[in-house]
Structure 1
Amino acid sequence: MKKWSFLLLLIPLMLTMCGRKKVVKIARDVSITPKNAVTRLAVDSLQMEDYISQAKLGDSAAQYLRNFYNSRNFQFAWITEKGLTEQARMFYMLNKDYASHFRDSTVLDPQLYQKMDFLMKQDTVFRKPDTSLAHLDLQLTQHFFNYVSTAYEGKVDPEVLQWHIPRKKLNTAALLDSLMSGKKTAAEDWEPVNREYKWMKKRLTSYYQLQQEGKFEDISSGKLKVYRIGDSALTVRQVRLRLIQFGDSTLKDSSSVFDSTLRASVKRAQGQYGMGQNGNINKALIKALNVPLEQRIKQILINMERMRWMPQMPDGRYLLANIPEYRLHVFEDHKTVLNMGIVVGKAANKTVIFSNKMRNIVFSPYWNIPASIVRAEVLPAMKRNRNYLASKNMEQTGFSNGLPEVRQKPGDNNSLGRVKFLFPNSYDIYFHDTPAKSLFAQEKRAFSHGCIRLSQPAALAEYLLDGKSGWTKEKIAKAMSGKKEVWVALSSPVPVFITYFTCWVDEDGLLNFRDDVYGHDRKMAEQLFDKS
């Protein structure tokens, strides 16, 4: 499996434009004078208040606008005596590019852009700022604030879609100051996005190009169920051409013969779709390669929206579980040091998307069986078989709300396996071992009641306890095979992110797709895309 990371947006978390916190008033910077100002054109305070009133700005938005112009002693931001600044032109192109790539016309103000189109095409000289010119500069500033909120923080409210990872926030005023400084002349260098987001944007562009070419035809399944090296068929040729369309530079011709070069490409493609990488062309691969371009484009757009929500990843160690990928990734200083297969909650018991900090490892754990499982599974079994608890190495410890309180004792058949990893949360979700090792051989692994089962729990324990006095590999193995529960506190808490991405670009630059196991993509599509 390919390594995968999300090092998202390197901007500090500060005040937002939505008014969740009171905006602190910034005093006027009188050190800026006509002699050192970028332009002699300036906004009059009465013009500003008139614009705020006409635009019907809320208190927070109005104060952000006042603060920005106070910080520059009311000099224009986007217009000088010679017309639109380079920053204004760059912002204009950013808007158009975003609207085109993300099919979001809400970031375009027709009247504003009509004025800008005119100014960009004319050699204009302004000697003094009239009200209409001042309003244009103010309008551009307010439009910038709105644009940043949509383009870089996200358009959809993640909480509505059961995404409980704290949403990224940007300091829009600092971003605007950064743009105005002119130190970064290319939009690509200025945008507050990480390289993975940029990679996704490039793949999105390539998919749009394929769509415009109109040469995306279905691959036929042919006569065979599986195609291997040495087979010759139209299907083989079609798969080869499709992989070339998707950017595989190792394939050079349109041969119908299945050779070793194609096999290597097929294995790589299978990895991109989360399939077993046997290198053979089968129905599952053909189905994935035949997914319509429009559907894949929407899948890319949906996951880029999720990327906008993600906070900055911490330095040091952190863990990221991606539900649709069925994998846990362990990072240290933003580099993958360990990854493993996982089992996640089934559709009826979805694993929750959230973040917290891991604080404890519990070896040879008891499993305190949730009341819902006791009611649905354990209690009926107890009624059928009076020896059920003993046969499952369980014991009753009391009663609560009319139900027996039941726990499973440490042992090889304990449902939590030999170790669990705790990061306190209200969802009662944690990582743990499992005796059902055979499930990890399956490609799709949504089988649990919501917690996340690990394929390599001992390796994770060894990594997390590396450097902790006395916790050698041998001691960990002994603790995992004991009959007594042992709690160990981590030297420092480790951030944990449980995410839901069905599309991303991995560290090898390959675009990955996964199935929408919980239907979250479908719900997001209803929020993101025009229903007409």
Structure 2
Amino acid sequence: MYLFSDKFYPSARKCTKGLPGAVLVFLTGLSLHAAPAVAQVSGAATGGTAVMVPATLPQTSGFRQALAAAASGDEAVQNFFRDRGYESFWTSEGPEGITRRAALLAALDGAAFHALPVARYDAAGLRRAFAQLRSEGDRGRLEIRMTRALLDYARDLSSGVLTPARIDPGIVRSLPRPEEPEVLAAFAADPQRLLNSLSPRNPEYVRLLRARADLQRQIAGGGWGRTITAKSLRPGSEGPEVVALRDRLAAMGYLGRSATASYDGSIVAAVRAFQEDQGLSADGVAGEATLRALNTAAEERLAAVTVAIERERWANIPRGDRHIWVNLTDYTVKLIDDGKVSFETRAVIGSTKDEKRTPEFSHRMTYLEVNPDWTVPPGIIRRDYLPKLQANPNALSHLKVVDSRGREIPRSAINFSAYTARNFPFSLKQPPGPSNALGRVKFMFPNPWSIYLHDTPDKHLFARDARAFSSGCVRLNDPFDFAYALLARQSDDPKGLFQRALNSGKQTRINLEEPVPVHLDYRTAFSDARGKMQYRRDIYGRDAAIHAALIKAGVTP
């Protein structure tokens, strides 16, 4: 867990301007000052209504027994109170107890703004419990409830409400779950500092929070107006459907005030801007794909942003001053240097078939392989190639059949029909060359899923808007330029270094002197360099499943 760190995202503080005060400044004032018979909980921390509760009860063995019983089975909480000698942490009368409970309850009040499940922490129920304390047993149980609320909130805000692999097996990233003893120790030392450190430091998180609040206001105001029923609109079109297009573009912020009922230059410009933000070909014509995106309800965009907020929590790690971001839904690979895109290329990703979808994870790129051979992944052999070889042993003639010792085996010596997908003992390899399936270079970040970035001899697919066609790996439109950009930090002549290896015709490894983090991500909602929201289609259906799981967990739409 990376507590208190502004190191990686120094601009995050700038992005908080204008956010609700309840999210940025935690309230104080929950007080249990002893009175002759009662103690008062101030209105500031109870939603504005002062309530009266019994005076502080002595910490007898009954208090400790109730506390120990309530913490049973929760090792971190048990150890925390044991190390404190089973003294009260939240319900004491002193200033430390007042500060702790005020800080936590005020933080929980901001849970909805962060798209967290409010009921999971039950701030209202905790306040009622303070107001209804009647026995030392009540007090012991409340100590554990408050502690558990802190730990649940810290986990959810810092690393996500959900465990992604339970939602989709293709999301295989490791979550930055906080260590509970560290959370408790840090909160005990400085409650406010701990709470302020939990949310992701990446400025994108704040932009997504702001976009979510904007969409909620838009929905409350009626959304973006009526949908467009036309199948296609283009420059020169006129009539009520153009008016609907105009009004929807205006509601979305792409067009200023206008009374035009014709598809004029202002409409063309607005449509182009919208298309760019959707990853569509920006031709200014409202065709089928553009109208489908224009007719997407604000509620659907809100769902995408809510999921992106959760995804941002899953990725709450130092991403690297230099890193590679592969956004699968955008079909792009970007090299990021100090927060700015220094190189970008189109990509082809895994197809929408379950077994071919590109997984999501983070790793480190360590080397380039120039003039690579291609060892066919076992899954492709089982699924696609073995049936072809069984039907025709001479099929796939561009591939060599290799045994476990690396020896090439003549096809005439193999009865392919004698094997099944489970016991096929051979590998299939394609030698280096311009027709190799991996092209002339691959970019390696060795991982258990055998996923990497690579060149391809098949370039025509890059011209399409939707590019989910591979068997899982990521193909690059401009692999040579990508190689030059990666090598520029370790060579005065990166192009020459790469071309010498390429022209040798030999399989050559070029190690990266500084490994580069690679993040394979899946964002249907994200902001661009201007801070403007971009939206993409949920091509694998992952975000729909995540959103459903968030709603089930208690996140409000």
TM-score by length of 1: 0.77
> Is 1:207 the equivalent of 2:183?
no
**Aligned-pair CA distance for 1:234:** 2.7
Within 2, Cα distance between the matches of 1:319 and 1:448? 20
Within 1, Cα distance between the matches of 2:496 and 2:139? 74
Alignment of 1:33-48 (within 5 A): 44=59, 47=63
Aligned identity (percent) is 24
Q: What code does the residue aligned with 1:342 have?
A: A
**Counterpart pick for 2:445 among 412, 416, 423:** 423
Alignment of 1:350-369 (within 5 A): 350-369=357-376
**Aligned-pair CA distance for 1:239:** 2.7
- Could you tell me which residue of structure 2 aligns to residue 512 of structure 1? 534
- Could you tell me which residue of structure 2 aligns to residue 63 of structure 1? 79
**Aligned-pair CA distance for 1:450:** 0.8
Contact 1:367-1:407 within 8 A present in 2 as well: yes
- Out of 490-499 and 310-319, give the one that drifted further: 310-319
> Is 1:450 the equivalent of 2:472?
yes
Within 2, Cα distance between the matches of 1:186 and 1:356? 28
Q: What code does the residue aligned with 2:232 have?
A: K
Alignment of 1:332-481 (within 5 A): 332-348=337-353, 349-378=356-385, 392=398, 394-397=399-402, 398=408, 401-402=423-424, 404-469=426-491, 472-481=494-503
Alignment of 1:261-340 (within 5 A): 261-340=266-345
CA deviation map 1:209-242 (0-9, x unaligned): 22222354432233x72322x5433333323332
User: Secondary structure of 1:509's match?
Assistant: coil
In the superposition, relative to structure 1, how do residues 258 and 94 fare at CA in structure 2: closer, same or farther (>3 Å)?
farther
Within 1, Cα distance between the matches of 2:371 and 2:264? 50
- Could you tell me which residue of structure 1 aligns to residue 14 of structure 2? none
Contact 1:99-1:105 within 8 A present in 2 as well: no
**Aligned-pair CA distance for 1:505:** 2.3
User: Secondary structure of 2:110's match?
Assistant: helix
In the superposition, relative to structure 1, how do residues 467 and 523 fare at CA in structure 2: closer, same or farther (>3 Å)?
closer
Contact 1:43-1:134 within 8 A present in 2 as well: no
User: Secondary structure of 1:530's match?
Assistant: helix
- Out of 88-97 and 204-213, give the one that drifted further: 88-97
**Aligned-pair CA distance for 1:382:** 5.6
Within 2, Cα distance between the matches of 1:419 and 1:472? 14
Contact 1:361-1:422 within 8 A present in 2 as well: yes
CA deviation map 1:360-379 (0-9, x unaligned): 21111111223443455545
**Aligned-pair CA distance for 1:531:** 9.6
**Aligned-pair CA distance for 1:444:** 0.9
Within 2, Cα distance between the matches of 1:386 and 1:170? 54
> Is 1:108 the equivalent of 2:118?
no
CA deviation map 1:138-187 (0-9, x unaligned): 64344222222223321211222322222013356766777788897998
Q: What code does the residue aligned with 1:413 have?
A: S
Q: What code does the residue aligned with 2:334 have?
A: H
**Counterpart pick for 2:241 among 211, 235, 238:** 235
In the superposition, relative to structure 1, how do residues 404 and 475 fare at CA in structure 2: closer, same or farther (>3 Å)?
same
**Counterpart pick for 2:505 among 483, 504, 522:** 483
Q: Which runs of 5+ in 1 are unaligned?
A: 1-7, 13-38, 120-128
Within 1, Cα distance between the matches of 2:197 and 2:393? 69
Contact 1:221-1:235 within 8 A present in 2 as well: yes
Contact 2:234-2:286 within 8 A present in 1 as well: yes
- Out of 508-517 and 447-456, give the one that drifted further: 508-517
Q: What code does the residue aligned with 1:365 have?
A: P
Q: Which runs of 5+ in 2 are unaligned?
A: 6-32, 35-55, 403-407, 415-422
Contact 2:91-2:143 within 8 A present in 1 as well: yes
Aligned length: 482
**Aligned-pair CA distance for 1:460:** 1.5
Within 1, Cα distance between the matches of 2:91 and 2:215? 34
- Could you tell me which residue of structure 2 aligns to residue 155 of structure 1? 161
**Aligned-pair CA distance for 1:50:** 3.2
Within 2, Cα distance between the matches of 1:343 and 1:156? 29
TM-score by length of 2: 0.74
Contact 2:233-2:242 within 8 A present in 1 as well: no
Contact 1:48-1:138 within 8 A present in 2 as well: no
User: Secondary structure of 2:108's match?
Assistant: helix
Contact 1:323-1:499 within 8 A present in 2 as well: yes
Contact 2:332-2:346 within 8 A present in 1 as well: yes
Contact 2:401-2:429 within 8 A present in 1 as well: yes
User: Secondary structure of 2:400's match?
Assistant: strand
Within 2, Cα distance between the matches of 1:204 and 1:375? 45
Within 2, Cα distance between the matches of 1:43 and 1:178? 27
Alignment of 1:5-84 (within 5 A): 44=59, 47=63, 50-54=66-70, 56=72, 58-65=74-81
User: Secondary structure of 2:226's match?
Assistant: coil
- Could you tell me which residue of structure 2 aligns to residue 503 of structure 1? 525
In the superposition, relative to structure 1, how do residues 111 and 406 fare at CA in structure 2: closer, same or farther (>3 Å)?
closer
Q: What code does the residue aligned with 2:525 have?
A: C
Q: What code does the residue aligned with 2:111 have?
A: Y
User: Secondary structure of 2:526's match?
Assistant: strand
Q: What code does the residue aligned with 2:219 have?
A: Q
Within 2, Cα distance between the matches of 1:213 and 1:78? 43
Within 2, Cα distance between the matches of 1:291 and 1:171? 40
